[in-house]
Amino acid sequence: MRVAVVGVGASGLATALAITDQGPGSLDLTLFDQQFKDPDRSARGFAYQADRSGPLLNAPMSMMSIRPDDDQDFARWVRRTGRCNGVFTSRSVFGDYLSDCLDSLKRQWVARPGTLHCVPSNATAVSRSVNGRFSVATAMAHFDGFDAVFLCVGWNERSAAADGCVPAYPLDETILRAMSASHVGVIGTGLGAVDVARGLLSSGYRGTITLASRRGLLPGPRIAKRISPRILTRERLHGFGALDLGAGLGLVEREAQEQGISLETPRRFLRGEVGPRESLRIDVETQDWRALFVALCDEVMADAWHLFDDASRRVFLRWLHPYFQSWCNPMPPSTARMLASAMDSGQLIVGRGLRIASSQRMMFMNGEVRDVDVVVSARRSSSESVANMDDAVVQSLLNGGLAMRDVFGGLRVNYGTWRIIAPGGAHLPIYAIGSLAQGARYYVNALDSIVRTIPEAVNDALASYA
């Protein structure tokens, strides 16, 4: 069996490990990624490169394993290597873990039958071979005869920056450029903007920081409370043939009642009654609704999204998606405390109603204008797909008649097997892992959600070959 994995960041590496563990002895596995040219960058992807250690992963270590059958793999690695004593660690440490997992994968293949190829080039095209299998091309070579291809091309990293704005990442470079400014403006109030603010504050920055977006929604702190759904479970959802948004929200209400949790605070968010400072409150007694939403999004949101009709999806994306992204992507409590302290002192300002920003000016819908010394862009346009649809491989599939665009982003994908759907309805053994499947699966905590889909795709590929 010949398998190709296109893109070897966190999701591509997780896929390669799963295929190695479960594949037949005669397996031939080929990995394509230009980062193989640099051992210090291999497998880290865009998000987990060596950068300053201040910004933390927004998820605890127990949610960051790339091995689907072992959710404690990362936590054990951290303890074994002595990298962190707390619940949260930095992105660069997670990058070290990925690099170590790649080394472990290579060691597995020393004693394993079959062959592992690491091609130090990005794939540029995937096409159908004459024999019905698939070919993968790079700028310099052509590889033929693959039975299955896994697309792990990552996220669309383009930001909605105006000309002259500084990109948020690499964060080390951004902080160095901003430290001498007396007032730093940041486009966005999500996790990327939080990274910039924390990076500046932890580096001793003394000037003013303004984070601004259309709604001014800050992620809340992660609440140290685990909730297991009782009403809105995967088993219950599987009993529905379809689900509209009203019925889905009704199930959320019933779940909250069953858990004894009030939903008044999220209702106040939707009415615009909650300010940025209040959103950083950490006390469990009044913020346990956050733990409920995180649990529901982690456990059942993807299945509910699959059942929603198109009208419900459109309404959700327009009115509720920004809030769910904020509520279900919480920041570490230590970061929330740091930002709250900066807001109380007046050093950090969070604004809503941002209309436009240039390199030294932020303009708001109420007519307010704020002059700043530098503007950092930490926001992806809400109108853009999180999937990188400009990727050369994606374009080759679309232009070659092997794939179709999904109206809700990414490629048309069959839910559950994660095969792409070609024009005419054929389900091809080309698997969309992660952002390319966003139309079929709603992503909140990206890595955790992606890792959950990998066994389904790998099992489908192996069953088809057998």
DSSP string, 4-38: EEE--SHHHHHHHHHHHHHS-TT-EEEEE-GGGG-
Q: Is the Cβ–Cβ distance between 418 and 444 less than 8 Å?
A: no
Token duo for residue 262: 């009030």
Query: Are 445 and 401 within one domain?
Result: yes
Is the pLDDT at 362 greater than 90? The verdict is yes
Distance, CA of 332 to CA of 429 (rounded, Å): 39
Query: Are 133 and 177 within one domain?
Result: no
Name the band, by pLDDT with cuts 50, 70 and 90, for residue 88: confident
Q: What is the pLDDT of residue 159?
A: 46
Asked, for residue 225, whether it belongs to a domain, the answer is no
Q: What is the pLDDT of residue 52?
A: 59
Query: Are 40 and 148 within one domain?
Result: yes
Query: The domain containing residue 368 runs over which residues?
Result: 166-219+331-377
Distance, CA of 397 to CA of 345 (rounded, Å): 53
Name the band, by pLDDT with cuts 50, 70 and 90, for residue 156: low
Asked, for residue 226, whether it belongs to a domain, the answer is no
Neighbours of 380 (CB within 10 A): 19
Query: Are 6 and 151 within one domain?
Result: yes
Q: What is the pLDDT of residue 415?
A: 94
Query: Are 399 and 413 within one domain?
Result: yes
Distance, CA of 9 to CA of 453 (rounded, Å): 16
Return the SS3 of 140.
coil
Q: What is the pLDDT of residues 98-151, one digit of tens each?
A: 999 999 999 999 989 899 999 999 999 999 997 889 999 999 999 999 999 999
First to last CA, the chain: 9
Q: What is the pLDDT of residues 261-315, one digit of tens each?
A: 999 999 999 999 999 999 999 887 789 999 999 999 888 888 899 999 999 999 9
Q: Which one of 312, 328, 344 terminates a domain?
A: 328
Query: Are 56 and 129 within one domain?
Result: yes
Query: Are 142 and 176 within one domain?
Result: no
Helices and strands in the chain: count of H runs, count of E runs: 15, 17
Query: Are 121 and 36 within one domain?
Result: yes
Q: What is the pLDDT of residues 403-462, one digit of tens each?
A: 999 999 999 999 999 999 999 999 999 999 988 999 999 877 678 878 889 999 999 999
What's the chain's average pLDDT? 90
Asked, for residue 104, whether it belongs to a domain, the answer is yes
Q: What is the pLDDT of residue 424?
A: 95
Contacts of 455 (CB under 8 A, 6+ apart): 18, 68, 69
Query: Are 150 and 51 within one domain?
Result: yes
Asked, for residue 227, whether it belongs to a domain, the answer is no
Number of domains in the chain: 3
Q: What is the pLDDT of residues 178-223, one digit of tens each?
A: 999 999 999 999 998 999 999 999 999 999 999 999 999 999 999 8
Cα angle 453, 449, 400; round to 5: 55
Produce one character per residue of 6-24: b if its CB has 16 or more CB atoms within 10 Å, e if not: bbbbbbbbbbbbbbbeebe
* pTM for this predicted structure: 0.92
φ, ψ of residue 69 in degrees (nearest 5):
-95, 10
Distance of CA 341 to the CA centre of its chain: 28
Query: Are 136 and 191 within one domain?
Result: no
Asked, for residue 295, whether it belongs to a domain, the answer is yes
* Section 35-47 average pLDDT: 84
Asked, for residue 38, whether it belongs to a domain, the answer is yes
CATH number, domain of 186, equals 3.50.50.60
